[in-house]
């Protein structure tokens, strides 16, 4: 008969919380949690006490009061009678516009400069080095101010376009005016307009959807869909018979013809800018402040992106190029089919953080008077209402949301191009 | 069979290579005009260089070094005959002659300029053993350790007992930690050590400093941080923020890599929050909200508040740099440390951190450059950094209207500082790379 | 480094925390320095010179208060503040008073809980245009591009003015005066609007001031004055009566040149009361009887301060206008010292 002896039962002792690695981590976490909560509670209670002493309890009521200041660049309709909330929204859109434009141009410029820096042309490579070092080593705030000043000082004022002995003239057949107040370009107009749909009535978040634009987009989308169907069909026929039917004219036609028809039906024409009174009237006005901020942010960020691109290309071993040449690819094909797809994997993660930096740097818009969200919500609204806590916290929240969305999207893209390892 | 053919009996003289492949011409052909596209690029570049220089150089070489005011400069320029269509053209360098010291030192008392200069020279000495570890005796590390206490004392001045008391807090914490961890657990040791040090700094050191100062008043003239300005302010903010963010960043990076879930989430939350908002909003917090977050009645000066916020800002970036360094270490290093039986902190202190930090130095330098450039933003909240000062200088009726000279000077100074540091960091990177191969 | 900075912070914090309980005047006396909030730089009103010494019209008031309370016109710490940071700096106790061309408005007085102790400069928002534009009234500015300095009441006044007159405009908000000036001169805006004093000061530094005109419309009232925190009446009285002493001194002809002579005694009891040879006004304020004498002596009376910093003999060249004594058709009217 065998007796089974239980293994000595492990009893929990208090000291195990300290000495036993299994429990110690729990102890540390509990301590950390308590410390964190204490800190938070301390900050909140201080804030509450201070606000009570100042007689300014947290109150977002000011959002529904009239902002009573004007904003020059507004993507949605806005007047000084609108609320602070509306002003903040206009500012947010302006931030997004400059961030998106900046990211695109910075990428394009950065790739070009990064490739040119590796060029075998001595003077171009040197120039690009000077460009990169010059932009990277001077604060972006200075660049923004600089570029604004250059635009103001070198471009002609609208009065130079006036009179018989005008010293400046419009470009591209009198359709584009480049002045030191900004660039005026033709705007699309529809004489048989379908009108707009108003969304959200009269609230601070209201906006219009242009039915004209919607119609064009629908027709264009449908055309593209048919076109891709034609391409797939051609692929199928090619697989079955070996011959590829000629489809390019069909594909072009299904996209262009209906769209053109819709444009004609809507009475599409361009509105040209004209010098009237003090300013050019009509057309779309890209303001100086937008252009300066956009240029400065793109040029500054492009210097960083150029370095990233260069490093990415140099990280690809020379064997890849040689192997591709051995396969008989031409040098532009080598770049686009072999080198860049591989370099992209190295390039994308730092590229994301540069996009984030550009977006965050757009908050310096105030230096050139571009009314982004820092200028409206964090600037004039904060100044006029004296609600620092509410406006700054909200401002941080907005930027945090933008940043996290950019990283989420870019990380998702990064996942999809990442090398799928075994 | 005598003359079958021609047999050469002597060597031909060496011929010169074709003129188009050697010398300046050959070089130009190979490097500038190798094909039509390159030729166009070259010509375009040459034109761009010419256009920029032609616009800038006449403006730069302007005989106005002694101008006493903008109007005086204009008179000098008119006398010299450089009058363009928009009035006089040419820089007014008088403003730089009169104000360059102010742009460098702000309002720091002029008889005490030696102190910031000495502080920054000593900074180089203190960094030497870290950066040039192979050519400087490692004994110098002791000085590097003491330097964080010398630096603020030199800049802000005051009694010498202040930094000594701060140092004593570290010593006290260390003594308590080693005493407790020998007898009890090291976890309790860390907690008690930290508590002892904090108690010393927050409660006791005030009395200690007061008492010693009344007995033995050794000290140098105190300078308030309001007197800081210009590049000195930028450098001070940059150096203090980086130095303070280093320990914070290490803690955050370790926290982010740790297996402890709560600790990890707190660290990730902090890092992502700070990295997700622009520095300018953090500076708004420093200028308007920080006092609201502190106990009622607390009020400390704006430069200190800015230092706190910039430090928090830099620490999030530093944490990411150090995390990169930690990730770059081969896993074998961790396993090796484990196999030696080292506990977590011993492994970090003896094996992991020294290597991870060394790999991270280029990243740390570029974070520093970034923070240094970002210090220009403090002008938006009213501090007189170089940009803020340029604004204040223009508010002098003599210099109202001077723009390019000041911006140009400031840009040049920033360029010199940042370019120097980035070159150095590249050199380090190369050096570290060879070490790995 | 971190810790010792922290240590410094805490000692400062401790000092401030102890002091906040007492009145500002005791606070200032204990510190031996007056913390005065000024602009980061505005021509004629406050700017550091090449030695780092602050000069200007607002600065002179700070110095006068410091001289009255502490007996030394140099015992001032000037704290540069921006349009955004000025009110928090005052509310949090970082500065004892603001002398930063701040417009006295209802909401600042009542909602933001500050006390304006008087007006040291009567200003109003005006417009400047190039003469070549041929504009003679602001109402002709339909469609014009207008440069405004942000962070002030100016943009609100402007929006109201154009709305009330039902004309359109294109606002170009600009952070600093220097940039506004640059844009205006280059023709990037047709009009520059800010306080009339600022316009005059800006125009004075142009290469050809005669090519620019100020339009006759003044679209707002901008009483600029020093302010202190709500609820500390003793301190508000000190600042208020220092300002009044400077104004009265001009009215009664007390100047920095003849003040010593007058301190010996005059036949005018009001002058004697101001200068402390008669009565105990200073003690009622919690100061000594020489307070006003010192305040006037440090930079002269209101008229002298005006003439030195922004008056017609300076490059800024402002006329007294509304800021003349009431006896000369201006608005300066100090209550009696009695």
Are the Cβ atoms of B403 and A149 closer than 8 angstroms?
A: yes
Give the pLDDT confidence score for residue B3 in this predicted structure.
61
Which residues in B lie closer than 8 A to residue A120 (C-beta atoms)? 31, 34, 38
| Domain annotation covers residue C15 | no
What pairs with residue C77 in β-bridges? Answer: C35
Give the pLDDT confidence score for residue C13 in this predicted structure.
42
Q: Are residues C260 and C115 in the same domain?
A: yes
CA A147 – CA A166 distance, rounded (Å)? 26
Are the Cβ atoms of A281 and C143 closer than 8 angstroms?
A: yes
C interface mutation test: which of B391, B402, B405 has the most C CBs within 10 A? B391
| Domain annotation covers residue C44 | yes
CA C32 – CA B376 distance, rounded (Å)? 32
Domain boundary among C220, C249, C283: C220
- Give the mean model confidence (pLDDT) for residues B321-325: 89
Are the Cβ atoms of A384 and C156 closer than 8 angstroms?
A: yes
Percent of chain B clearing pLDDT 90 (strictly above): 17
Q: Are residues C199 and C263 in the same domain?
A: no
**Any A CB within 8 A of B36 CB:** no
Mean pLDDT of chain B: 84
Read off the CATH number of the domain in which C157 is found: 3.40.190.10
**Any A CB within 8 A of B391 CB:** no
Q: Are residues C227 and C324 in the same domain?
A: yes
- For residue A383, give the chain B residue with the closest CA: B288
Indicate the pLDDT class of residue B290, thresholds 50, 70 and 90: confident
Read off the CATH number of the domain in which A344 is found: 1.10.3720.10
Q: Are residues C194 and C259 in the same domain?
A: no
Q: Are residues C308 and C247 in the same domain?
A: yes
Give the pLDDT confidence score for residue C9 in this predicted structure.
44
Are the Cβ atoms of A403 and B279 closer than 8 angstroms?
A: no
Indicate the pLDDT class of residue C324, thresholds 50, 70 and 90: very high
| 3-class state of residue C115 by DSSP | strand
Q: Measure CB to CB from residue C91 to each of A54, A277, A380 and give the nearest one.
A: A54
**Any A CB within 8 A of C84 CB:** yes
Indicate the pLDDT class of residue C16, thresholds 50, 70 and 90: very low
| Domain annotation covers residue C338 | no
Domain boundary among C220, C240, C271: C220
| 3-class state of residue C38 by DSSP | strand
Among B399-403, C3-7, C52-56, C158-162, the range scoring the smallest mean pLDDT is C3-7
Q: Measure CB to CB from residue A142 to each of B46, B369, B411 and give the nearest one.
A: B411
Return the structure tokens found at A40.
């938070």
**pLDDT tens, residue by residue, B207-239:** 877 787 777 777 788 888 888 889 999 999 998
| Domain annotation covers residue C9 | no
Which residues in A lie closer than 8 A to residue C158 (C-beta atoms)? 70
Percent of chain B clearing pLDDT 70 (strictly above): 95
- According to DSSP H, which parts of A7-83 are helical? 16-19, 21-54
Give the pLDDT confidence score for residue C237 in this predicted structure.
93
Those chains having 3 or more beta-carbon pairs within 8 angstroms of chain B are: A, C
| 3-class state of residue C47 by DSSP | strand
Give the pLDDT confidence score for residue A352 in this predicted structure.
86
Q: Measure CB to CB from residue B288 to each of C14, C40, C88 and give the nearest one.
A: C88
- For residue C18, give the chain B residue with the closest CA: B297
DSSP one-letter code for A247: -
| Domain annotation covers residue C334 | no
Which residues in C lie closer than 8 A to residue B74 (C-beta atoms)? 207
Query: Could you give the number of structural domains in chain C?
Result: 2
Print the domain residue range for A330.
64-155+280-417
**Any A CB within 8 A of C211 CB:** no
Number of cross-chain residue pairs from B and C with Cβ atoms under 8 Å apart: 171
| 3-class state of residue A22 by DSSP | helix
Residues 212-231 of C with CB under 8 A from B: none
Are the Cβ atoms of B422 and A121 closer than 8 angstroms?
A: no
A254, A260, A265, A267: CA torsion to nearest 10: 170
Q: Measure CB to CB from residue A18 to each of B32, B188, B278 and give the nearest one.
A: B188
Q: Which residues does C246 contact at the CB level (< 8 Å), separation at least 6?
A: C61, C64, C295, C296, C301, C302, C305
Are the Cβ atoms of B280 and A124 closer than 8 angstroms?
A: no
Give the pLDDT confidence score for residue B177 in this predicted structure.
84
- Would you kindly state where each structural domain of chain B is located, as residue ranges? 112-376
> Which pairs count as long-range contacts for B126-132, CB under 8 Å and 24+ apart, including other chains?
B130/B361, B131/B361, B131/B428
Print the domain residue range for C62.
23-122+223-328
Give the H or E element holding residue B367.
Answer: helix B353-374
CA A52 – CA C92 distance, rounded (Å)? 13
- According to DSSP H, which parts of A7-166 are helical? 16-19, 21-54, 84-117, 122-136, 140-154
- For residue B307, give the chain C residue with the closest CA: C5
| Domain annotation covers residue A245 | no
CA A99 – CA A356 distance, rounded (Å)? 9
Cα–Cα nearest to C274, from C250, C298, C257? C250
Report CA-CA distances (Å) from A312 to A113, B85, B324. 13, 49, 17
- Judge contact between C152 and C83, C-beta under 8 A: yes
Are the Cβ atoms of A142 and B387 closer than 8 angstroms?
A: yes
The answer to whether residue B20 scores a pLDDT higher than 80 is no
| 3-class state of residue A362 by DSSP | helix
CA A377 to chain centre: 19
What pairs with residue C38 in β-bridges? Answer: C80
| Domain annotation covers residue C335 | no
Domain boundary among C177, C197, C220: C220
- Give the mean model confidence (pLDDT) for residues B104-113: 87
Distance from CA of A400 to the nearest CA of B (A): 5
Distance from CA of B142 to the nearest CA of C (A): 15
Q: Are residues C234 and C188 in the same domain?
A: no
Are the Cβ atoms of A181 and C171 closer than 8 angstroms?
A: no
**pLDDT tens, residue by residue, B328-384:** 888 888 899 989 988 887 888 888 888 888 888 888 888 889 999 999 999 888 888
Indicate the pLDDT class of residue B87, thresholds 50, 70 and 90: low
CA A162 – CA A168 distance, rounded (Å)? 8
Which residues in C lie closer than 8 A to residue A383 (C-beta atoms)? 83-84, 151
Are the Cβ atoms of B280 and A374 closer than 8 angstroms?
A: yes
Give the pLDDT confidence score for residue A1 in this predicted structure.
53
| Domain annotation covers residue A161 | no
Q: Measure CB to CB from residue C94 to each of B302, B395, B397 and give the nearest one.
A: B302
Are the Cβ atoms of C84 and B284 closer than 8 angstroms?
A: yes
- Judge contact between C118 and C217, C-beta under 8 A: no
The answer to whether residue C14 scores a pLDDT higher than 70 is no
Give the pLDDT confidence score for residue A366 in this predicted structure.
85
**pLDDT tens, residue by residue, B135-154:** 777 777 788 888 888 888 88
Are the Cβ atoms of C151 and A379 closer than 8 angstroms?
A: yes
Are the Cβ atoms of C150 and A369 closer than 8 angstroms?
A: yes
| Domain annotation covers residue C176 | yes
Which residues in C lie closer than 8 A to residue B300 (C-beta atoms)? 9, 12-13, 16
Residues 122-161 of C with CB under 8 A from A: 132-133, 141-145, 150-151, 155-156, 158-160
Cα–Cα nearest to A278, from C219, C149, C170? C170
- Judge contact between B258 and B276, C-beta under 8 A: no
| Domain annotation covers residue A244 | no
**Any B CB within 8 A of C88 CB:** yes
Are the Cβ atoms of B293 and A46 closer than 8 angstroms?
A: yes
**Any C CB within 8 A of A365 CB:** no
Give the H or E element holding residue B303.
Answer: helix B302-328
Q: Are residues C183 and C149 in the same domain?
A: yes
The CATH class that applies to domain B112-376 reads mainly alpha
Phi and psi angles of residue C147, each rounded to the nearest 5 degrees, phi first:
-85, 130
**Any A CB within 8 A of B426 CB:** no
| 3-class state of residue C42 by DSSP | strand
Q: B3 or A377: which carries more pLDDT confidence?
A: A377
Q: Measure CB to CB from residue B243 to each of C1, C20, C47 and give the nearest one.
A: C1
- For residue A368, give the chain C residue with the closest CA: C174
CA A306 to chain centre: 18
Are the Cβ atoms of A145 and C179 closer than 8 angstroms?
A: yes
Which residues in B lie closer than 8 A to residue C21 (C-beta atoms)? 297
Q: Measure CB to CB from residue A388 to each of C88, C142, C173 and give the nearest one.
A: C88
**Any C CB within 8 A of B157 CB:** no
Distance from CA of C181 to the nearest CA of B (A): 7
Query: Could you give the number of structural domains in chain A?
Result: 1
The answer to whether residue C21 scores a pLDDT higher than 60 is no
Q: Measure CB to CB from residue B292 to each of A36, A51, A120 and give the nearest one.
A: A51
Residues of chain A with pLDDT under 70: 1-10, 17-19, 164, 418-422
Are the Cβ atoms of B304 and C9 closer than 8 angstroms?
A: yes
């Amino acid at each position: 008969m065998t007796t089974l002896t239980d293994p000595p039962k492990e009893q929990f002792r208090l000291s195990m919380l300290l000495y036993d690695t299994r429990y110690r981590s729990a102890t540390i976490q509990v301590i950390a949690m308590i410390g964190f909560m204490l800190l938070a509670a301390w900050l909140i209670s201080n804030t509450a006490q201070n606000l009570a002493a100042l007689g300014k309890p947290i109150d977002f009521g000011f959002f529904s009061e009239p902002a009573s200041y004007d904003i020059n660049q507004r993507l949605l309709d806005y007047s000084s009678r609108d609320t602070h909330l509306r002003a903040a929204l206009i500012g947010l859109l302006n931030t997004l516009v400059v961030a998106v434009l900046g990211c695109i141009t910075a990428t394009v410029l950065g790739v070009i400069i990064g490739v040119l820096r590796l060029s075998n042309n001595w003077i171009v490579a040197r120039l690009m080095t000077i460009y990169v070092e010059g932009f990277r080593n001077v604060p972006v705030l200075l660049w923004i101010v600089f570029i604004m000043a250059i635009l103001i000082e070198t471009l002609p004022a609208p009065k130079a376009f006036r009179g018989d002995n005008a010293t400046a003239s419009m470009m591209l057949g009198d359709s584009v005016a480049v002045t030191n107040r900004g660039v005026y370009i033709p705007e699309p107009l529809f004489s048989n307009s379908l009108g707009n749909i108003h969304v959200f009535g009269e609230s601070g978040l209201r906006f219009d959807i242009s039915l004209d634009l919607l119609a064009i987009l629908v027709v264009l989308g449908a055309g593209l869909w048919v076109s891709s169907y034609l391409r797939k069909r051609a692929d199928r026929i090619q697989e079955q018979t070996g011959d590829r039917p000629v489809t390019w004219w069909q594909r072009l036609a299904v996209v262009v013809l209906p769209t053109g028809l819709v444009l004609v039906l809507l009475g599409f024409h361009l509105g040209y800018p004209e010098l009237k009174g003090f300013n050019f009237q009509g057309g779309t006005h890209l303001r100086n402040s937008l252009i300066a901020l956009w240029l400065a942010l793109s040029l500054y960020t492009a210097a960083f992106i150029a370095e990233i691109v260069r490093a990415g290309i140099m990280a690809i071993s020379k064997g890849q190029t040689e192997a591709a040449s051995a396969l008989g690819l031409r040098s532009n094909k080598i770049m686009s089919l072999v080198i860049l797809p591989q370099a992209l994997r190295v390039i994308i993660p730092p590229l994301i953080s540069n996009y984030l930096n550009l977006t965050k740097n757009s908050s310096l818009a105030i230096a050139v008077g571009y009314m982004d969200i820092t200028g409206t919500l964090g600037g004039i609204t904060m100044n006029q209402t004296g609600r620092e806590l509410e406006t700054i916290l909200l401002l941080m929240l907005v930027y945090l949301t933008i940043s996290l969305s950019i990283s989420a999207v870019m990380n998702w893209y990064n996942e999809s191009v990442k090398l799928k390892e075994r | 069979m005598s003359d079958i053919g021609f047999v050469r009996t002597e060597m031909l003289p060496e011929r010169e290579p074709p003129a188009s492949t050697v010398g300046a011409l050959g070089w130009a052909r190979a490097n500038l005009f190798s094909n039509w596209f390159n030729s166009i690029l070259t010509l375009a570049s040459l034109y761009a260089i010419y256009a920029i220089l032609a616009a800038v150089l006449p403006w730069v070489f302007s005989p106005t070094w002694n101008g006493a005011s903008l109007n005086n400069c204009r008179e000098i320029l008119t006398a010299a005959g450089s009058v363009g269509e928009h009035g006089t053209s040419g820089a007014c360098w008088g403003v730089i002659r009169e104000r360059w010291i102010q742009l460098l030192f702000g309002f720091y008392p002029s008889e005490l300029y030696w102190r910031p200069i000495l502080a920054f020279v000593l900074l180089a000495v203190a960094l030497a053993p870290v950066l040039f570890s192979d050519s400087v005796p490692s004994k110098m590390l002791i000085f590097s350790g003491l330097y964080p206490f010398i630096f603020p004392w030199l800049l802000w001045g005051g009694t010498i007992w202040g930094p000594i008391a701060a140092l004593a807090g570290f010593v006290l914490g260390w003594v308590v930690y080693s005493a407790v961890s020998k007898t009890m657990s090291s976890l309790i040791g860390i907690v008690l050590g930290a508590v002892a040090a904090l108690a010393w700094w927050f409660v006791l050191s005030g009395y200690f400093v007061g008492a010693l100062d009344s007995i033995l008043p050794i000290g140098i003239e105190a300078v308030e941080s309001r007197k800081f300005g210009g590049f000195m302010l930028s450098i001070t903010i940059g150096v203090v923020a980086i130095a303070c963010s280093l320990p914070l960043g290490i803690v955050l990076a370790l926290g982010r890599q740790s297996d402890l879930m709560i600790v990890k989430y707190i660290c990730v939350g902090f890092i992502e929050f700070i990295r997700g908002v622009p520095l300018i909003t953090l500076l708004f917090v420093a200028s308007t909200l920080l006092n609201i977050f502190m106990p009622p009645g607390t009020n400390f000066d704006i430069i200190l508040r800015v230092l706190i916020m910039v430090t928090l800002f830099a620490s999030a970036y530093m944490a990411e740099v150090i995390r990169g360094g930690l990730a770059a270490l081969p896993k074998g290093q961790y396993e090796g440390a484990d196999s030696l039986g080292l506990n977590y902190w011993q492994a970090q202190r003896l094996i992991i951190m020294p290597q991870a930090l060394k790999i991270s130095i280029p990243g740390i330098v570029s974070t520093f450059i970034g923070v240094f450039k970002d210090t220009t933003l403090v002008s938006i909240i009213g501090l007189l950094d170089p940009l803020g000062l340029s604004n204040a200088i223009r508010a002098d009726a003599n210099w109202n209207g001077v723009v390019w000279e000041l911006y140009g000077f400031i840009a040049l100074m920033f360029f010199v500082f940042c370019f120097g540091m980035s070159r150095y960091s590249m050199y380090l990177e190369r050096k570290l790379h060879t070490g790995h191969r | 480094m971190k810790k010792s900075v922290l240590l410094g912070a805490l000692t400062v914090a401790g000092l401030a925390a102890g002091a906040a309980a007492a009145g500002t005047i005791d606070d200032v006396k204990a510190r031996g320095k007056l913390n005065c909030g000024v602009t980061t730089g505005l021509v004629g009103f406050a700017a550091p010179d090449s030695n780092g010494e602050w000069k200007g019209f607002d600065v002179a008031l700070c110095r006068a208060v410091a001289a009255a309370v502490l007996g030394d016109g140099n015992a001032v710490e000037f704290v540069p503040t921006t349009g955004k940071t000025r009110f928090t700096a005052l509310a949090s106790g970082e500065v004892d008073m603001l002398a930063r061309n701040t417009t006295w408005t209802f909401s600042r007085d009542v909602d933001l809980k500050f006390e304006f102790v008087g007006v040291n400069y009567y200003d109003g928002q005006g417009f400047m245009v190039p003469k070549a534009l041929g504009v003679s009234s602001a109402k002709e500015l339909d469609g014009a591009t207008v440069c405004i300095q942000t962070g002030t009441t100016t943009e609100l006044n402007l929006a109201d003015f154009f709305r009330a007159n039902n004309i359109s405009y294109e606002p170009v908000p600009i952070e600093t005066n220097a940039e506004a000036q640059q844009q205006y001169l280059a023709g990037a805006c047709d009009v520059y609007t800010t306080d009339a004093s600022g316009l005059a000061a800006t125009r004075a530094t142009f290469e050809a001031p005669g090519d620019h005109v100020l339009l006759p419309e003044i679209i707002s009232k901008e009483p600029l004055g020093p302010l202190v925190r709500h609820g500390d009446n003793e301190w508000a009285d000190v600042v208020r009566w220092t300002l009044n002493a400077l104004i009265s001194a001009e009215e009664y002809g007390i100047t920095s040149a003849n003040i010593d002579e007058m301190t010996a005694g005059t036949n005018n009891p009001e002058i004697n009361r101001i200068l402390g040879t008669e009565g105990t006004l200073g003690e009622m304020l919690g100061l000594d009887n020489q307070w006003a004498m010192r305040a006037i002596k440090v930079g002269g009376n209101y008229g002298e301060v005006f003439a030195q910093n922004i008056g017609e003999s300076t490059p800024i060249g402002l006329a007294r206008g509304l800021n003349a004594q009431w006896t000369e058709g201006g608005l300066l009217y100090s209550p009696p010292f009695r």
